[in-house]
Structure 1
Amino acid sequence: MKFRLFTLFLLLLVTGLRAQVQYTTESPRIDDINDRDVSIKRIELTDQYTIIYMKFESHQRPGSQGRSWPFSIPQPGGGSMQMESTNNIGFQPTSRLYVNQGERSYKFVRAENIPAETRRPVQPGERVDFVAYFERIDPGYTTFDLFECRDSKGYVCFNFWGVHIINPRRKETYSQRTPKTPVPVQPKPQQPRYKPRTTPGVGAPEVTPKPTEPETPAPATVAINGITRDAKTNQPVIATVTYRLLSGAEASGDEPADSVKSVSPAGNYKITIDRRGVYVVTASAKGYFSQSDTLATNRIDVARDFDLVPIEAGAKITLKNIYFNISQYNLKPESFPELDRLATMMQSNPTMQIRLEGHTDMVGEFDANVELSRNRVNEVKRYLVSKGISAGRIEAVGYGPSRPINTNKTLKERAENRRVEMVVVKV
């Protein structure tokens, strides 16, 4: 009997622990990683902890890759979570999670299956699964950085930049929603009793008038509006603005596109929105590169101006909707609509020749970044060729980190430096 009671207690305890998990993010998207031997498999958020499930697998990679940190962080004294060239690993208790460029930090609590003070040896090819517990990240922060240490001679730190998680604000959770006020049910009018007629006109049933139901006002509409103009002269341009609902409560995922025209002479356009959600909006005009943006509509109007770049020799634009996996050059499917528009434009201008220029941020080895940027623009070129564009019309160059457009200090600036640009060589 004692054994059965103890087993039941453990079962209830485990069930209770599982019930505390509020949000789970499997294989989270990560903007940058300091050591490729370690990865984050899953992140769980409970009412107390941020639980990070990690995997280390040694590949006997010599050397270390230093990483600069985008904001000032107090430095712990002593050891750190790091890997020696002899493949020893440990977890530093002074590790921290940071959100919003260091606005808030969350302390390390404990670790499982990895020592917190000393280091343990790891054989080449051996896999170590371990778990790190930190203080609970406040609801509403959906990206954090795991700062462990700064690389030093013989040590590589387990740092992660831009870890994306599911962590909505409290008011957005289902349990916090305000219940709908029940609509009062109008009582049915009683049917009048039939009185048999004894004389003409006497005994006719009395008819009760049906109550008038109040009319429900139509929901207020919102709009996306703005101006389409020439990026060089700042003069209005008459353009076609196409829009399509991508996601929302009433979206099915394959919504048809619709369009409006900007009006002369001011180049104003207005899209009336009757279904709230996220829209992709594209402005296009003859003789100009098309330009797209993703806009969320809620309860107020959204303003978005489009500055269209003329198609002429020397013109340069950034292909903003081109996506790759971290440190890889395979195109993500989200890139195809942007490249399809580019292919259509080149088909409409059969003599046009372009140069694709690839750029990276300044994190990592210079030569490796140059090679990565070259592979990425070559992948874009292969996609355009698959759409019928002659390879002789497309030049591809990889510049790596040599042409940054900002200081590269913050995560936002690093993302801006990782880009693919297109230059018109000949029209």
Structure 2
Amino acid sequence: MNYKSLLAFACAIVLSFTATFGQITENPKVEEQSAEYVKIKRVELTDQYTIVYMQFEEKLTPGFKDLQPYLKRRQGGQQFEMPSTSTIGLDPETRLYKPGDVNVRFKLIKTKDIPTEMRKQVNPGDVVDFVAYFERLSPGIEVFDFYEGRAKSKYEKTWNFYGIHVKNPLKKNGKTTAKVIPKTEKTAPPIIEEKKEEKIETKPVVPEEELVMIKGTVYDSKTRNPVPAQISYLEKGDSLQYKSSSGNYRIGINPNERYDFKVFAKGYYGSNFSLNAADSASKGSFVKDFYLIPLTVGETISLPNIYFETSKYTLLPESFAELNRLADMMKENPEIKIRVEGHTDNVGDFDKNLELSTSRALSVKTYLINKGIDEQRIEAKGFGATKPLAKNGSEAEKRKNRRVEFVITKI
């Protein structure tokens, strides 16, 4: 056999090996993760599995570093170890998901060096290498999410990874083997058109000396510095505007009327608030300051007044004012792109919560599209219960975790 033939034979063996053992991605790029103490070292795609090689490290708490040489010592002829501070395990319901499509998911098959039906104790400074075997990702899915679920106590460690990039090109015939679980409802709910409020009967003109004063300052929420702003409101059917180059404002209002104020500052996400002076205990004047969030890439902004039917993704009319404000911001800033994110509490089935949060994010996206926003500027994604703001211990904490946010992805 000559040199060229030998080289060709060797290349054939290598190609055959690659086809058999699949693609390997060392230290894959991860866009976001919920815990820094776990990392993905490698992802291997074989004919049968998606194999995720991971490493957990139990960090030493402050003050323990200097005691590390004494973590193990002889005492009375027996070895003494510092007590375990937490436990780890991999929830058997752990899934891999195609981002943005909760119906394309890949089950956990087995694990190595980490339990699934029980927990493994870990001590300060411990490093645990373990492996998780999942159903094989469909060819062409080169970005996926890893959902490990939620902790049942403060001593349990859990982790989630979003946007894991791997080598997994489409096969030449372009066919995929994704396992799709059918949905009972495939389309986002119809959007109920907002009804305009009927004009209130005009009240008699109030003398200036009887006006109620509302005053305050518009601030940058990050720097706490005043920012130039514009406040608009309706009075007797007329649209009025108050512009302030210093951020300070002072407006006289009729004490018998209800007002809806909109606060706008260039480069910031605006704010709305309503005021009915007659219903307030304060008389004569009101002080209302505003802290606006700057529009910067990566900024997460909560949408506090978004409401859905219970356990459904149908938007309620009470949500329209907040969503209109978001639509107005996107019209005023045509270069901005966002990702709408849906979140739930930890009550109920994990997969159903993930699907519900995704459907709710899609409902918000649909509303914005119907308001004239290009769908290419809006991404929608659900995270279920994997990104809680509170512990889910009380109803108030669960309510806080049930939310819709948006993240600025481009500006």
Q: What is the TM-score with the length of structure 1 in the denominator? A: 0.44
Q: What is the TM-score with the length of structure 2 in the denominator? A: 0.45
Q: Report which of the two structures shows the higher radius of gyration computed on alpha carbons.
A: 1
